[in-house]
Structure 1
Amino acid sequence: MPCHSGFGWSFSFGLLLVLSKCLVCSAQPKHPVSDTHWFPATATWYGSPEGDGSDGGACGYGSLVDVKPFRARVGAVSPVLFKNGEGCGACFKVKCLDKSICSRRAVTIIVTDECPGGYCSNGRTHFDLSGAAFGRMAVTGEGGQLRNRGELPVIYRRTPCKYPGRSIAFHVNEGSTDYWLSLLVEFEDGDGDVGSMHIREASSTEWLEMNHVWGANWCFNGGPLKGPFSVKLTTLSTKRSLSATDVIPGNWAAKATYTSRLNFFH
């Protein structure tokens, strides 16, 4: 059943609560997604020259893009990588090839936004990076000159996301009620993307399938629901699963963020 809400959206970082009861189960394959081969693409940059790029973005991460570990590592990608929002959270290494100005090192970016038109149209594989991320592809001291180039040919490959010291968190979106519960996934390492999500009431053994709304946001439309809730997510790329038991308490609140003690690299 599709999910709809008449409430406005807000993705403030909210209250962080750590729940003690957690259970993890991993599905095959064992290792997160990672490409060994580089693929051709193009890249541009947006925002201020040394800035973080998007203010929120099409994935719905809101103010998270302005703080570490997202800060200065954000990137908007063309639809072929955005995948209607299911590519949100995926991580890529990107590097340019002109040896006169480009460093040998690659910059790692996190998909937080979509660039649907212009450079990103006609099925192109394109990265629109923050000014800071774009400049980091240059040799030391040449970030400004590299940004002056505009569009660049680059190569890219998928890489596991890494959030040392961070656990997966679930932000309860504004407008959520006992009949319409919407969650935003934060700090998922490994694959970074989400292919499906389920919730389970503490009084039940049944996992209820959530629907993908947009970006990294999922919802369940039904109820009445009664917390606490367990949340199970399965990655899009390698179908690995993780379950956090009773991670959202019975007295949950909209706009709050509830942090598990789990992550795929833990």
Structure 2
Amino acid sequence: MARMCTSKEWAIILCTLSMCVVGSLAGVPGVPSGWKAAHATFYGGSNAQGTMGGACGYGNLYNTGYGLETAALSSTLFNNGKTCGACYEMFCNYRQQSRWCYKAQPHIKVTATNLCPANWNRPTNRGGWCNPPRVHFDLPQPMFIKMARYVGGIVPVAYRRVPCVKKGGVKFTMNGNPWFNLILISNVAGPGDIKAVAVKGSKQKSWTSARQNWGQKWEVKQKLQGQALSFRLTSGSGKVLVLYNAVPRTWRFGSTYMARSNWKGL
């Protein structure tokens, strides 16, 4: 999480937060139509190594293609991992905080890959930045400083949901054992998030619903080895994508396979 702020900085922060509490339900200066108000901090250090892994299960974010353009979400947005993979655009709201936000208000885009946990030992407006019902983004430090000064610690932002742009098709990483399949779904374009998954082996007549294990890891408790696997994915907005034979019959545990297609648009 971000560093502790000085007493002078706290005075500015608390003033800003009071505007945010009202602005979460009403108009906030500097927040355009179609955007929403929130706040952002940073974590992971200057090299962002502390942001690798995370509650979505993507593992090494460089290897899975997410890199530094990521965010940890407060639980209000995280939705028990169902929002993993969603993409957001944001900028530091200079009209709310001219001391820490850049006047040009450069925009950044990030993918949700982690949870920013609540800190019940601190009040919502004094360190418990990710406590419900706050909407909050904890960013890798290199992303934070693209839109705000490092010394700011916490800044007001305007954000909106945007389509995810990814290279190639949806990816499926197979783990588990012959009777327990744990499937990581990543590199999801368009809506980015997945709320339901069904799997069908080439030897099966019907679809089997997968159960969310954690993040974007889904489990299927039946023998799937030796079968080509098709997937039916449902996004948080209800869009459905069916990927036939996305994983070949010769698949092995520990390997990742890319489907031939992906979603487009929200």
**Given the two structures, how large is their TM-score scaled by the length of structure 2?**
0.77
How far residue 247 of structure 1 moved from its aligned partner, in angstroms, is 1.9
Partner of 2:132: 122
- Provide the C-alpha distance between the structure 2 equivalents of 1:170 and 1:220, rounded to a whole number of angstroms: 13
Q: Partners of 1:53 and 1:95 in 2: how far apart?
A: 23
**Alpha-carbon deviations, 1:101-158, whole Å to 9, x = none?**
42323210100000112310131100000011111114xxxxxxx1111011111111
Matches within 5 A, 1:2-151: 37-51=34-48, 54-63=51-60, 65-67=61-63, 69-98=65-94, 100=98, 101-102=101-102, 103-117=104-118, 118-138=128-148, 146-151=149-154
Question: 1: CA distance between counterparts of 2:180 and 2:223?
Answer: 8
What amino acid is aligned across from residue 211 of structure 1 in structure 2? R
One-letter identity of the residue aligned with 2:105: R
Distance 1:95 1:189 in 2: 22
Q: Is the 8 A contact 2:82 2:194 kept in 1?
A: yes
Confirm or deny that 1:156 pairs with 2:153. Answer: no
TM-fit CA distance, 1:205? 2.5
Q: What is the count of residue pairs matched by the alignment?
A: 220
Decide whether the 8 Å contact of 1:199 with 1:210 is kept in 2. Answer: yes
For 2:144 and 2:197, how far apart are their aligned partners in 1?
33
Pairwise CA distance, 1:196: 0.7
For residue 179 of structure 2, what is the amino acid of its counterpart? Y
In structure 2, the CA distance between the partners of 1:224 and 1:98, relative to structure 1 (3 Å rule), is: closer
| Distance in 2, Cα, partners of 1:59 & 1:246 | 25
Question: Corresponding residue for 2:228?
Answer: 228
Structure 1 residue 210 and structure 2 residue 206: aligned? Answer: no
- In percent, how many aligned pairs have the same letter? 31
1:45-98 deviation line (CA, Å, top 9, x unaligned): 0112353651211101001x1358411101101001110000100001111112
The separation in 2 between residues aligned to 1:68 and 1:253, in whole angstroms, is 18
Alpha carbons of 1:135 and 1:192: their partners in 2 closer, same or farther (altered >3 Å)?
A: same
State how far apart, in whole Å, the 2-side matches of 1:52 and 1:156 are: 25
- C-alpha separation in 2, matches of 1:242 and 1:224: 21
Structure 2 SS opposite 1:80: helix
The residue that corresponds to 1:9 in the other structure is none
Distance 2:38 2:165 in 1: 23
**Distance in 1 (alpha carbons) for counterparts of 2:226 and 2:67:** 36
Structure 2 partner of 1:260: 259
Cα distance in 1 for residues equivalent to 2:194 and 2:258? 17
Q: Root-mean-square deviation (CA), in Å?
A: 2.1
**Residue 246 of structure 1: how far off its partner (Å):** 1.7
In structure 2, runs of 5+ residues without a counterpart are: 1-31, 119-127
TM-score calculated relative to the size of structure 1: 0.77
CA contact (8 A) 1:93 1:158 kept: yes
Query: What letter is aligned with 2:42?
Result: W
Structure 1: gaps of 5 or more residues? 1-34, 139-145
Name the CA distance, whole Å, in 2 between partners of 1:116 and 1:229.
Answer: 35
- Structure 1 stretches (4+) deviating beyond 6 angstroms? none
Residues 172 and 225 of structure 1, relative CA distance in 2, 3 Å threshold? closer
